[in-house]
Amino acid sequence: MKMTFRWYGESDPVRLAYIRQIPGMTGIVSAIYDVPVGEVWPLDKLRALRARIAEAGLEFEVVESVPVHEDIKLGKPTRDALIANFAQNIRHCAAVGVKVICYNFMPVFDWTRTELAKELPDGSHTLAFDAQAVARIDPGQGIALPGWDASYQPEELKKILDDYQAVDEEALWANLAYFLNAIIPVAEEVGIRMAIHPDDPPRPIFGLPRIVKNRADLNRLVHLVDSPANGLTLCSGSLGADPGNDIPALIREFGGMGRIHFTHLRNVKCEPDGSFFESTHQSRDGSLDMAEIIKACHDVGFAGYVRPDHGRMIWGETGKPGYGLYDRALGAAYLNGLWEAVDKFAR
């Protein structure tokens, strides 16, 4: 597997030079962040990003993410032009050597948390989701949660939420199928593999449909367009927030099909009411058996890209919650160590 690290560009306080020093690190996962959603990423910006990453001695082969405009998810008449722009972004990414594009089809909200700095007993801080707090929120009265996409003004958000009143899960599936039928042939043509990210958390929230939550959803997704270019980002932390999801079994099934192109590996500690917080990567601290997850990856011969997903904020580090250097570096080292042990004793 190829170990990679998320980097948010020159504004990211984590320096590329520091990322390069993490043992086993091969590449950077990044994107173009200053172009509005739905527009085409200029090729010169992608070339400059690739050059900056290469200068640091790292590869740029994974984009996360090319955002999907809400009009595409809603199935509005404007979607064809927006899908054409998305297809052009696939071509531009391929032109600079990108092999995998991660994206998601979550309505309105990307990952959702109620706390960005939950203090753990050891004094570290982490991302957390309080199911009871979310259940008390009335979307019609406004939503104020940390970490969500604040690009919408209150009236804009209300309009989008109103639009989704007419979109149930089946309608969202139909809109995803329409999108994939348009872009997967482009991905096949230029050698890109598309990797959808599961819903985070993997359940409906605020009355919005969620369709990438579990084994049945993943199976339906890969058969919407039966192509190796139509694949998954297997995020252990997102799917693992539902104890009913057997992550090693999912890896063995979909990895065995060759449909896992990217993995996000992190651990979560789940509570009976659906709440969870993001623990260290170690199995003993969370609800997921990371050693078994790595073994499943090894068993199916996974040779794709992996990144240590969110980490705690430790050792006084400040910056973007979940995306500090130190704990993600520890996570990468831990995952590499598990892989080395599994590989050695499998011989």
Is 125 known to be catalytic? no
- Name the token pair of 160: 């989008």
Would residue 130 show up in a list of annotated catalytic residues for this protein? no
Q: How would you class 346 by CB atoms within 10 Å of its CB: exposed for 0-12, middle for 13-18, buried for 19 or more?
A: exposed
Question: Could you tell me the two tokens for 329?
Answer: 């570096």
Active site residue 281: no
User: Which of 92, 125, 298, 310 is an active site residue?
Assistant: 310
* Helix, strand or coil, per DSSP, at residue 248: helix
Among residues 64, 62, 58, the alpha carbon closest in space to that of 17 is found at: 58
Q: At what angle do helices 326-345 and 290-299 cross, to 10 degrees?
A: 50
235 is catalytic: yes
Alpha helices in the chain (DSSP H): 16-20, 43-55, 70-74, 79-95, 131-135, 154-163, 169-190, 215-224, 236-240, 247-250, 256, 290-299, 326-345
Q: Which of 235, 281, 298, 327 is catalytic?
A: 235
Place of tokens 């599994």: 342
Q: Is the dihedral of CA 146, 149, 153, 156 positive or negative?
A: negative
Q: Which candidate in 92, 261, 264, 298 is catalytic?
A: 264
- Given the residues 197, 261, 281, 298, the one annotated as active site: 197
Determine whether 164 is an active site residue. no
Annotated catalytic residue, options 199, 242, 309, 327: 309
Task: For residue 69, indicate whether it is catalytic.
Answer: no
- Check 103, 305, 323, 334 and give the catalytic one: 323
- Residues involved in catalysis: 197, 235, 264, 309-310, 323
